[in-house]
Amino acid sequence: MIEVNDLSVDLGEFVLKNITLAIKEGEYFIILGPTGAGKTVLLESIAGLYPIKSGEIWLRGKEVTGVEPEKRKISIVYQDHVLFPHLSVRKNIVFGLKMNKVTAAEQDNRVNWVAELLGIGNLLHRKPDTLSGGEKQKVALARAIATRPELLLVDEPLSALDPETRETVQQELRRLHQALGITILHVTHDFEEAIALGSRIAVIGEGSLMQVGTPEEIFRHPNSEFVARFAMTRNVFLGKATKQSNGDTVFQVDGTEFVIAGETEGTYHASIRPEEILISTEPIRSSARNCFPGTITQIQDKGSTLYITVNAPPELSCLVTRHSFEELELRKGKRIYVTFKATSVHLFD
Amino acid sequence: MSFLRYIGKNRLTITFVLLGLLIFLFIIIPLAKMVFSSVSDTETLWETLLDPEVSGAIGLTLFAALISTIVGFFLGIPLAYILARNNFPGKRLVEGLIDVPIVVPHTAAGIALLFVFGRNFFLGEAFEKVGITFVDSFAGIVIAMIFVSIPFLIDSAKEGFKKVDVRLEKVARTLGASPWQAFFRITFPLAWRSILTGNIMMWARGISEFGAVIILAYHPMIAPVLVYERFETYGLDYARPVAVLLILVSVIVFIVLRTLAYRGDKS
């Protein structure tokens, strides 16, 4: 559908280089990266709005690298909507249709179609500055899809919204993608958003593409420390994997030995997802191979869940629900046990 | 007691208001004194207005300033847009040079223009070949006015363009608009108020120009030159009614335009 070959973009302070992506027809593709990684510029380069240093962009088998943005059939939705403030909602939507010389009758059809699709029929006569954040984002989406683009680019569409609206717009995006079968390229810094929406995810950071894969692959098998840290795996350790005489492979870190799956040896990073670590007041007898005593050093309240830092050593970050937090009477300084499976420890370079 | 406390609490505001009042009166009193002392003598004022030399000069001033504003609009807006949207080496220098006409004494500006648009320089020569001369002519008045007033238009329009989010143009492009369409349908309408303000400022500045115009074109006589000439030849009493008319006309037109622009902004 769209292929980006060895794209390099000069961002002034740093260079985004060697970006190679192949997005399939109808895919919901996420580019995940921290703020300032050049995600917006990458989208603008694909849309032809930002000059590239080198590389190629192919859309449906045609090279569009030097093609003007108005001829690419790629629409963009920015984080903060960027609606035309002097035009009504209807005129915002009609703008692209007029530019594409769509007939007046067809303009009406398309406006009705997108208005119904996004449930904004009652907003058509309003000016953008009278709309709420969620409404603006829907109008921006409506404007972008009314021209029937081949590719829809969305830049952090949920970041500027409050949590509740975010949920609605996220569902809206998923629904749009399913209903229209449109190819979407979505950039975000939010891992959960990426997992929730993406059929595949590309992680960018430090000026280049770090990993491309399904959410599951990124989630379970980050290929680098950068990706692991980004993938909210808060437990990333550098240590040594060695085979023991009893046939187990262990990973040594800070004097503690984690039993791990596989037979790899050598110096590696290991990651353990916080939600895969159990906390208990007594040692647990189970098939889980790793069980260590430790002291609670930090408690981070996230509302319905809490991150508990336990020093075994090393320090492990564990995710618990508020219910178990209260039931176990967890508090700073308390001695507890942490338990996790050998397969929960993921090794990478 | 509470009054004293009020003063004690608001010393800064009170001091600044008093100082502000001083400068405000300094502007208002001479204008008001002249206008009111002449308005009471309606007969003379009326006579002056009916004097074809006076009405002709005022009309010529307004018209010449209008023509320079129109020329300034077509030549100044593109430059303002380029300066608002692009960064290039030497941009600061260009911006600084554009504002130079504001600080140059206007008689000196007139001399400079005369040098370039006079008969002894190729530009003046070239224009003369197509029948346009700038010495003692309408065209001379216009270029003098443009020279001294264009910075106001360019600066105002540039600020207006800067306030238009460049991504609005980008979105327009992805929706199928050419750069021209994006400019005329999105950027220009959104910057319109600043452009209009700039135009009004430029026009007003053109009307009030004396120094540069008198060097290039003593005749045909614009109103400020006529005021000067009557003052020099006949004295204060003859110059004053003309000056009053000029002030009244300028102020009325200025107020009307400002009101229109303000209303446009509100809707």
Per-position DSSP letters for A182-216, written without gaps between them: -EEEEEES-HHHHHHH-SEEEEEETTEEEEEE-HH
Residue pointed to by tokens 């039931």:
A327
Beta partners for residue A237, in sequence order: A270
pLDDT band at residue B265 using 50, 70 and 90 as cut-offs: low
Is B166 part of a structural domain of the chain? yes
Q: Across the interface, which of A44, A48, A99 has its CB nearest the CB of B175?
A: A99
Q: Is the pLDDT of residue B131 over 60?
A: yes
Shortest CA distance to B86 belongs to which of B26, B148, B169?
B169
Whether residue A254 sits in one domain with residue A113: no
> Does residue A234 sit at the B interface (CB-CB below 8 Å)?
no
pLDDT band at B1 (very low <50, low <70, confident <90, very high): low
Q: Closest Cα of chain A to B78: distance in Å?
A: 21
**What is the secondary structure of A319-331 as a DSSP string?**
EEEHHHHHHTT--
Residue B45 forms part of a structural domain:
no
Q: Is A43 on the interface with B (CB under 8 A)?
A: no
At A220 the pLDDT is 66
List of residues 6+ apart from B147 with CB closer than 8 A? B101, B109, B113, B212
Interchain contact B29–A (C-beta under 8 A): no
Give first-to-last CA distance, chain A, whole Å.
32
Contacts of B186 in chain A (CB under 8 A): 84
* Interface membership of A156 toward B (CB under 8 Å): no
Q: What are phi and psi of A10, to 5 degrees?
A: -90, 120
* Residue B105 shares a structural domain with residue B162: yes
Quote the minimal CA–CA distance from A48 to chain B in Å.
8
Q: Of A104, A84, A101, which is closest to residue A93 (Cα–Cα)?
A: A84
- A95, two tokens: 């703008």
Asked if residue B41 has pLDDT above 90, the reply is no
Answer with the residue of higher pLDDT: B147 or B263.
B147
- Same-domain check for residues B118 and B32: no
Q: Which pLDDT value is given to residue A155?
A: 93
Judged by DSSP in three states, A9 sits in strand
A200-205 vs A278-280, strand pairing mode:
unpaired
Is residue B235 domain-shared with residue B138, that is, in the same domain?
yes
Same-domain check for residues B56 and B141: yes
In this prediction, the residues of chain A whose per-residue pLDDT falls under 50 are none
Shared domain for B7 and B56, answered yes or no, is no
In terms of Cα–Cα distance, which of B124, B142, B145 is closest to B202? Answer: B145
| Chain B residues within 8 A of A48 when measuring between CB atoms | 173
Q: Which of A225, A249, A279 is the last residue of a domain?
A: A225
What one-character DSSP code corresponds to residue A344? G
How far apart are alpha carbons A210 and A223 in whole angstroms?
Answer: 8
Q: Is the pLDDT of residue B136 over 60?
A: yes
Whether residues A216 and A253 share a domain: the answer is no
A143/B181 CB distance under 8 A: no
Same domain, B162 and B194: yes
Angle in degrees, 0-180, between the axes of helices B42-50 and B236-266, rounded to the nearest 10: 80
> Do A204 and A262 lie in a common domain?
no
Length of chain B: 267
Which one of B86, B175, B185 makes the best mutation probe of the A interface by having the most chain A beta carbons within 10 Å?
B175
Question: How many whole angstroms separate alpha carbon A175 and alpha carbon A153?
Answer: 16
Q: Say yes or no for a CB contact (<8 Å) between A76 and B170.
A: yes
Among B175, B189, B190, the residue with its CB nearest the CB of A95 is B175
At B267, the pLDDT band (50, 70, 90 cuts) reads very low
CA distance A25 to B84: 39
CB contacts of B168 in chain A (<8 Å) are: 82, 84
Domain stops at, among A225, A249, A264:
A225
Min CA distance, B178 vs chain A (Å)? 6
Q: Which of B:105-144 have CB within 8 Å of A?
A: none
**Of A176, A194, A225, which marks where a domain is finished?**
A225
* Same structural domain, A43 and A100: yes
Instruction: Give the CATH number, domain containing residue A260.
Output: 2.40.50.100
Pair type for strands A28-32 and A200-205 = parallel
> Cβ A70–B190 below 8 Å, yes or no?
no
pLDDT in tens, B207-257: 989 999 999 999 899 999 999 999 999 988 888 888 888 888 888 888 888
Asked if the C-beta of A282 comes within 8 angstroms of chain B's C-beta atoms, the answer is no
The whole-number pLDDT of residue A214 equals: 87
Give yes or no: residues A313 and A180 share one domain: no
**CA A108 from centre of chain:** 36
Instruction: Give pLDDT tens digits for B212-226.
Output: 999 999 989 999 999
* Domain span including residue A311: 233-348
Closest C-alpha to A326, from A309, A298, A297, A304: A304
Element (H, E) at B66: helix B52-85
On chain A, the residues whose CB falls within 8 A of the CB of B189 are 86
What residues contact B178, with CB distance under 8 A and at least 6 apart? Answer: A68, A70
Do B135 and B114 contact (CB within 8 A), yes or no? yes
Residue B13, domain extent:
1-40
Report how far residue B13's alpha carbon sits from residue B173's, in angstroms, rounded to the nearest whole number. Answer: 50
